[in-house]
Amino acid sequence: MQTLLAITVGGSCAPVVTAIRDYNPDFVVFIVSTGARGSRAMVDGKDKPCSTEDKTPLPNILEQTGLPAEKCTFIELEDPDTLHLCYQKIRHGLGEHSAGRTDWRKLADYTGGTKTMTAALIVVAIEMGWELSVVRGNRTDLLKVRDGTEMASLVNTWEVRARQQLEQAEILFNQSAYASAGQLVEGLMRAAPLSMELQREIQRFVTLSRGFDAWDRFDHARAAQILAPYQAEIVPQWKFLKILTGQSKGTGYEPVFDLIANAERRAVRGRYDDAVARLYRALEMLAQIRLAQREPSLNTSDLNPNLLPETLRPKYAGRERKIKLGLLEDYDLLAELDDPLGKVFSPERKKILATLEKRNASILAHGAQPCDEGIYREMHDETLRLLQSGLHALGVRLETVQFPQIKQGQLT
Which among 172, 182, 163 has a CA at the least distance from the CA of 227?
A: 182
The answer to whether residue 250 scores a pLDDT higher than 70 is: yes
pLDDT band with cut points at 50, 70 and 90 for residue 147: low
How far from the centroid of its chain's Cα atoms is residue 110's Cα?
Answer: 31
> pLDDT tens digits for 76-123?
999 999 999 999 999 999 999 999 898 999 999 998 899 999 999 999
The answer to whether residue 65 scores a pLDDT higher than 70 is: yes
Which among 296, 321, 300 has a CA at the least distance from the CA of 309?
A: 296
Q: What is the mean pLDDT of residues 180-193?
A: 85
What proportion of the chain, given as a percentage, has pLDDT over 90?
Answer: 69
The answer to whether residue 141 scores a pLDDT higher than 50 is: no
- Determine contact, residues 136/145, Cβ cutoff 8 Å: yes
Rounded Cα–Cα distance for residues 348 and 351 (Å): 5
Check: pTM over 0.85? Answer yes or no. Answer: no
Which among 234, 236, 278 has a CA at the least distance from the CA of 257?
A: 278
CA distances from 338 to 303, 307, 341 (A): 18, 15, 8
pLDDT band with cut points at 50, 70 and 90 for residue 188: confident
Q: What is the mean pLDDT of residues 176-199?
A: 87
More confident residue, 349 or 192: 349
* pLDDT of 339: 96
Which among 302, 310, 353 has a CA at the least distance from the CA of 331?
A: 353
pLDDT band with cut points at 50, 70 and 90 for residue 367: low
Mean pLDDT score across all residues of the chain = 90
* pLDDT of 144: 52
- Determine contact, residues 50/20, Cβ cutoff 8 Å: no
> pLDDT tens digits for 282-315?
999 999 999 999 999 999 999 999 999 999 988 8
Q: Taking the domains of the chain in order of start, what are their residue ranges?
A: 3-155, 162-247+405-411, 254-394
> pLDDT tens digits for 212-238?
999 999 999 999 999 999 999 999 999
The answer to whether residue 137 scores a pLDDT higher than 70 is: no
* pLDDT of 322: 82
* pLDDT of 142: 38
* pLDDT of 143: 43
More confident residue, 31 or 53: 31
* pLDDT of 120: 96
Q: What is the mean pLDDT of residues 233-260?
A: 96
Rounded Cα–Cα distance for residues 119 and 176 (Å): 34
DSSP 230: G
Lowest mean pLDDT among 164-173, 299-308, 346-355: 346-355
CATH of domain 3-155: 3.40.50.10770
Question: Sign (positive/negative) of CA torsion 30, 36, 42, 44?
Answer: positive
- Determine contact, residues 26/47, Cβ cutoff 8 Å: no
- Determine contact, residues 181/170, Cβ cutoff 8 Å: yes
More confident residue, 53 or 267: 267
* pLDDT of 119: 95
